[in-house]
Amino acid sequence: MKNTKDRILAQGVDLLSESGFAQVTVGLLAQRTGMSKSGLFAHFGSKEEVQLGLMEETVRMSSICFVEPAMQHAPGLERLRSLVYGWLGWTGKAGLPGGCPIAAGLFELDDVAESDPVRQRLLSLEEQWRELLVSTTAEAVASGELATDLDLDQFVWELCGIYLNHHVSERFLHDPAAKTRAQSAFEALVERSIPKTKPATRKKPVRSKR
């Protein structure tokens, strides 16, 4: 059974997914949870604390939904593919009614003052995520499945572009082919990144007949 704070977070992430950061107010969240504002303030002292808490809950949910399962695969292309495929449309699998709050927040908070704590935390989460994508891609390079001269930062930059296009296509354009197109774009990116030639196999020495 969920405790009160867990119930607040669950309702809050649903609201964040549906409506964005601007709509996550203490008053509206109190209504959604059937609590008084003072009762909610006992767990979160401000709107800012609520929003920060909801971002952490979003990260926790995404980790359980697709990051941790992907990490069960051996390092290499299989792990990277599992991570990316799980990332695409993960909120539907997690039971959230809207799109990814983190992806939406990148657009919603882009003009907010850089000193804003919510924007700073969102930036930090995005940087950490891209670092994970870089390290996972680097594992596929180390395994020999991707080219040794692959520009990891460029690969991840294009990968994030695919995800954001998927987010817009699915949420705003309601394109039913959004996920399929995103997966095709990812596979094309991988295809361009595999080694162009396989390393030559060492031939066994031939013994001369006497």
For the record, the structure tokens of 175 come out as: 């394109």
Residue with tokens 């850089």: 114
pLDDT, position 207: 37
Q: Per-residue pLDDT for 200 more than 70?
A: no
CA distance 80 to 179: 17
Prediction pTM value = 0.88
Tell me the mean pLDDT in the region 38-64.
Answer: 90
pLDDT, position 30: 86
Say what percent of the chain tops pLDDT 70.
93
Residue with tokens 């001369």: 208
Residue with tokens 């094309």: 188
Q: Which residue has the higher pLDDT, 116 or 36?
A: 116
pLDDT, position 198: 56
Provide CB contacts within 8 A for 15, sequence distance 6+: 23, 24, 28, 29, 32
pLDDT tier at 2, thresholds 50, 70, 90: low
Q: Per-residue pLDDT for 177 more than 70?
A: yes
53-80 confidence digits (pLDDT tens): 999 999 999 999 999 999 999 999 999 9
**Other CB atoms within 10 Å distance of the CB of residue 156:** 20
Residue with tokens 């998927």: 166
Say what percent of the chain tops pLDDT 90.
70
Q: What is the CA radius of gyration of the chain?
A: 22
Q: What does pLDDT average to over the chain?
A: 90
Q: Per-residue pLDDT for 88 more than 50?
A: yes
DSSP symbol at 22: G
Q: Which residue has the higher pLDDT, 81 or 38?
A: 81
Catalogue all structural domains in the chain, each as residue range(s) with its CATH number: 55-193 (1.10.357.10)
124-148 confidence digits (pLDDT tens): 999 999 999 999 999 999 999 999 9
